[in-house]
């Protein structure tokens, strides 16, 4: 039997139609009423209907073994299931519940092995919200028992949970370590500070006594919040702390009792840095005061199992010229497990000295990023330190292709990338063609500190984004000096009167001052790809390739890819006759 009610309203109150329903059911044949085994109950007012109509159903259908309730979206919230369970037993009586449980044992889905159910539920339930968990729990008594016997499913507690749910989670999680989320808002913004503090205070009244069980804490609060209320708790088993301040940075000098802390991610909240040690991951962003380089050195030294380190927007020395790294810090920092290292917008001279001491043989992801408005400094220390780590030999490989070197030089930027490692410098002065010679010098500083084996392993070079063909030619000379085994070159040409100027880097050079004979850049080159603006003639490539064929000890280019530009038919015919592969995309042939 199916029963559905949308809830009639009359003069502001729910209309009581129990008399009409009772009269209708009284007309049922007695044997038909005895045959009803299940009732499907749905609608927007199941609570009221169960209380009013439950006795009527029980009187007319004494053999009901199963009650199925379908909730509308407005009723699908965690406490709805709890109310349903309580009202189900109170209204329909214990005998019905017992017969329902007996019936469930015969349905295949209700007889899944507990081990399989554990796996299914663990993979399905990954949310802080408990809506899905209560839905799984309401399938049947068997599933309810399984869910209730998995304390780790109840170990996530958040600020938006109500008091009843928090109490239920604390009870059902037993002694399981807790993951606590005391935050609201998005993108590090908390808009209404007073209501947040009231909610946070009420939240801590419920969960504060269990602080010793906290395994992780995700905390986002406005600047003027009372941070000591939560940070001064005895968090003796806390392993992960992610804390962000919405608004101005905060210098927290209070008690911080976290002897087992392994993972720290702090944004705009300064701590007693010297009290931290044995970390596995450390992320510091926008803290004021920022940790000094001395403090960072001590932190890294005392965390030999560190796997991830990111520091950004450290303003302890805005100009980047001063250093606070003590002279006695000269011993290497051995970090054999470090895989990710990001240094972003920090005083580059002092942090370059710090990077020179880092030994990280398993480093896979490395980023150095600096941004200067218009200043022209000597950036060599930063490029040298980055080059040593980018070009260091690896004991294990990451996801990136370490045989490919990419160099990007658009307007105000120079980026040198190998695999997942990169050094990026932005200087607005370069956009006005001020001191652009710093870019070839920076590339040279990076490559000078590459390990010899790393230089030999580079097979592919990408040059793109440069406004001057001459600058690309200068960079190509630098690359040729350091990288002997380049087999593939990709170039994006600039808008100029002819592409021949940029393409000349492939042709013969003037006589070598040391050997007194003609030579070519990239003697091992066999594949060349260049991208030119639409309509720009690129027939000059044929003469460049012919000249290269006549130079001894130089590989012939066998594969050519042209994107854009225009070229004559006769040039295409000659290229096809001499090349193994010619590919043109968006090229005008006339």
pLDDT in tens, 205-246: 999 999 999 999 999 988 888 888 899 999 999 999 999 998
Tell me, what's the pLDDT at 504? 66
Do 343 and 337 touch, CB atoms closer than 8 A? no
Cα(564)–Cα(583) distance, integer angstroms: 11
Spatial neighbors of 343 by CB under 8 A, at least 6 apart, are 311, 351, 355, 367, 368, 369
DSSP state of 348: H
Cα(322)–Cα(509) distance, integer angstroms: 43
Residue with tokens 């708790």: 233
Tell me, what's the pLDDT at 226? 84
Tell me, what's the pLDDT at 570? 94
The most confident of 17-21, 135-139, 221-225, 230-234, by mean pLDDT = 230-234
Cα(83)–Cα(134) distance, integer angstroms: 12
The most confident of 62-76, 119-133, 202-216, by mean pLDDT = 202-216
The most confident of 31-35, 144-148, 183-187, by mean pLDDT = 144-148
Cα(67)–Cα(17) distance, integer angstroms: 21
Tell me, what's the pLDDT at 254? 82
Do 57 and 88 touch, CB atoms closer than 8 A? no
Q: How confident is the model at residue 167 (pLDDT cuts 50, 70, 90)?
A: very high
Tell me, what's the pLDDT at 311? 94
Spatial neighbors of 29 by CB under 8 A, at least 6 apart, are none
Cα(91)–Cα(67) distance, integer angstroms: 12
Cα(321)–Cα(314) distance, integer angstroms: 14
Tell me, what's the pLDDT at 410? 75
DSSP state of 520: B
Residue with tokens 């009221």: 48
Tell me, what's the pLDDT at 95? 35
CB atoms within 10 A of CB 153: 22
Residue with tokens 């050519």: 560
Is-above-0.85 flag for pTM?
no
DSSP state of 377: -
Of the listed ranges 132-141, 179-188, 317-326, 438-447, the one predicted with least confidence: 317-326
Spatial neighbors of 492 by CB under 8 A, at least 6 apart, are 463, 464, 465, 466, 530, 531
The tokens of 558 are what? 């066998």
Q: How confident is the model at residue 68 (pLDDT cuts 50, 70, 90)?
A: low
3-state secondary structure of 243: strand
Strands 250-251 and 263-267, by their bridges, are: unpaired
CA angle 19, 22, 26 (to 5 degrees): 140
Indicate whether 376 pLDDT > 80: no
Q: What percent of the chain has pLDDT over 70?
A: 69
Q: How confident is the model at residue 517 (pLDDT cuts 50, 70, 90)?
A: low
The tokens of 49 are what? 């209907």
Spatial neighbors of 186 by CB under 8 A, at least 6 apart, are none
Indicate whether 466 pLDDT > 60: yes
Indicate whether 516 pLDDT > 80: no
Cα(38)–Cα(9) distance, integer angstroms: 28
CA nearest 282: which of 264, 261, 259?
264
Report the chain's terminal Cα–Cα distance, integer Å.
79
More confident site: 45 or 416: 416
HSE-up (13 A, CA, CB side) for residue 428: 5
3-state secondary structure of 81: helix
CA nearest 154: which of 137, 178, 185, 136?
178
3-state secondary structure of 335: coil
């Amino acid at each position: 039997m199916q029963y559905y009610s949308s809830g009639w309203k009359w003069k502001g109150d729910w209309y009581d139609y129990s008399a009409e329903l009772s009269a209708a059911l009284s007309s049922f044949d007695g044997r038909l009423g005895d045959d009803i085994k299940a009732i499907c109950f749905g609608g927007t007012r199941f609570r009221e209907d169960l209380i009013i109509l439950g006795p009527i159903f029980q009187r007319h259908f004494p053999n009901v073994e199963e009650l199925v309730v379908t909730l509308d979206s407005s009723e699908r919230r965690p406490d709805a299931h709890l109310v349903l369970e309580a009202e189900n037993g109170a209204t329909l009586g214990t005998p019905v519940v017992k017969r329902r449980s007996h019936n469930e044992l015969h349905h295949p889905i209700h007889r899944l092995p507990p081990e399989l159910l554990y796996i299914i539920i663990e993979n399905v339930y990954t949310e802080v919200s408990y809506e899905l968990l209560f839905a799984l729990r309401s399938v049947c008594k068997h599933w309810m028992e399984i869910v209730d016997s998995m304390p780790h499913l109840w170990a996530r507690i958040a600020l938006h949970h109500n008091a009843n749910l928090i109490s239920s989670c604390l009870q059902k999680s037993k002694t399981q370590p807790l993951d606590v989320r005391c935050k609201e808002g998005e993108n590090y913004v908390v808009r209404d500070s007073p209501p947040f503090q009231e909610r946070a205070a009420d939240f801590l009244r419920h969960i504060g006594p269990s602080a010793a069980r906290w395994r992780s804490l995700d905390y986002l609060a406005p600047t003027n919040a009372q941070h000591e209320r939560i940070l001064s708790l005895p968090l003796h088993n806390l392993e992960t702390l992610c804390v962000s301040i919405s608004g101005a940075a905060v210098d927290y000098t209070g008690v911080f009792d976290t002897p087992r802390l392994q993972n720290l991610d702090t944004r705009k909240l300064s701590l007693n840095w010297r009290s931290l040690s044995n970390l596995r991951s450390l992320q510091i962003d926008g803290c004021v005061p920022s940790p000094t380089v001395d403090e960072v050195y001590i932190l890294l030294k005392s965390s030999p199992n560190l796997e991830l380190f990111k520091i950004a927007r450290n303003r302890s020395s805005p100009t980047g010229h001063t250093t606070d790294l003590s002279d006695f810090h000269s011993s290497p920092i051995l970090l054999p497990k470090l895989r990710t290292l990001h240094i972003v917008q920090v005083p580059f001279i002092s942090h370059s000295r710090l990077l020179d001491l880092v030994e990280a043989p398993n480093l896979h992801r490395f980023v150095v990023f600096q941004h200067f408005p218009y200043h022209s400094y000597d950036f060599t220390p930063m490029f040298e330190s980055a080059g040593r780590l980018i070009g260091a030999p690896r004991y294990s490989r990451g996801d990136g292709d370490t045989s490919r070197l990419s160099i990007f030089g658009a307007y105000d930027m120079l980026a040198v990338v190998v695999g997942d490692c990169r050094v990026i410098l932005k200087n607005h002065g370069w956009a006005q063609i001020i001191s652009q010679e710093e870019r070839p010098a920076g590339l040279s500083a990076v490559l000078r500190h590459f390990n010899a084996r790393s230089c030999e392993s580079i097979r592919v070079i990408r040059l793109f984004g440069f406004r001057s063909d001459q600058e690309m030619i200068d960079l190509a000379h630098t690359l040729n000096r350091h990288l002997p085994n380049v087999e593939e070159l990709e170039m994006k040409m600039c808008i100029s009167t002819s592409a021949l100027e940029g393409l000349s880097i492939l042709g013969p050079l003037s006589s070598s001052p040391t050997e007194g004979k003609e030579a070519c850049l990239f003697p091992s080159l066999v594949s060349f790809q260049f991208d030119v603006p639409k309509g720009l003639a690129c027939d000059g490539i044929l003469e460049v390739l012919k000249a290269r064929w006549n130079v001894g000890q130089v590989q012939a280019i066998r594969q050519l890819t042209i994107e854009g530009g225009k070229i004559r038919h006769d040039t295409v015919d000659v290229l096809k006759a001499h090349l193994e592969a010619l590919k043109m995309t968006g090229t005008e042939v006339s």
